[in-house]
Structure 1
């Protein structure tokens, strides 16, 4: 028993000496620094307890929740939250998105605060007489009831301009306006000043050696304006007809053995008077 007591005393003394050394001012610094390093990681270990969505009126909550990677029960990750906001923006329905993070002892409560884009109440088209409304509506990329999107609206205005150009109205003026109205809606306006159809003053060819310009012009339904244009309804530009003419010229060369011929897209130049057109067609016969 005496030996055991001696052994026990030595163990107690040895442990006491070790603890005393660790409790000395110099030895306390290391555990303290380790604790400071661990604190940020402990903060990020907060678990997501709840996820809420507020501000959505037309877009269902499930559509938004399905887009985010953050889920209930996962550790809170602020980098992932930033990616979630970007993913929701990509839906195209919102003009502002914020995330409120509330930390509680039980976990983090996340609230996605969204502001929807306005919806289109109506699209008003005015000034069209020479092109039917139905044709104009076919090129409009944003419709009644859609969320308003500035890029699609700009594309719509350009599409209407292109429609008039393709019909020969090179001097047509297209203006647009967006009016905000109550209930987070907008009314879109397109005002058209059609002007007169441009007439074809000249059709030129460049690079043709095997066949004369006169020969090639005879293949075309597109004609320059002449004395009888008012009767024959020729002399104005229809892009669809001109495209067929280019294909006809290409086939004509193929039929005569010029298999590698290249016929360029026609270059259309508007004269200083704003009405006369010059069409230039470049050919590489090969």
Structure 2
């Protein structure tokens, strides 16, 4: 199925009532960042709120947690111990486990370092996230490299190079046949897969697929994927199923790039500017 403005209008997002409080709008937990890449969490968290989530908790490296708490005054902040290589540790982090259990949706991965630590962290958190949609992005996807199969709702967001690294496939072959590659990965992992690219394919293990073409080359910029992951997590926190959150997130991300290109030109706008376009786009899509 093609993802277009028209198909999105027919696939309406869950909308809170006029008297809904922040709890009804959903609580998103984002476990991300590192001392070298704290900005990835900032980008993802801002996007989750712009997508309409009502509450935000972030968990990140203790060395940068205070600064991110100031940059994100809307968030509760949990500081995590770090490995020598900058990875995040869940050892003794009971507050993180409890945050997982309270969350409406969880995003893990943007800006994380130390692959071994990242895989261990995801394994430790999975039992506490089983009730909620889980988005694995960037470094958190490394768990899937060993043929891991998921038992609860999970979305992975690789581009062709990442999928090649996770599956042992060829990047060029994946890029030439993204629908085949995304479907195979979804079945093997028992997860929803959003294979990002000029053409983005979203595949479910059951065989359903969605395809999006759009956006522009300006979106190929550092931090853009972190914004997309945050948008998807924010929409999932509002109550959208992972495949719907992914479809809407991919489309909103592309539409935001188009809006920015009209003002700034095809190149040169920043990932941090993408989220600011989203509320107006959501309003426009809901108005028809």
TM-score, length-scaled by structure 2: 0.18
Q: Which has the higher strand share?
A: 1
**Structure of greater relative contact order (alpha carbons < 8 Å, 6+ residues apart):** 2
Pick the structure with greater CA Rg: 1
Q: Which has the higher helix share?
A: 2
TM-score, length-scaled by structure 1: 0.19
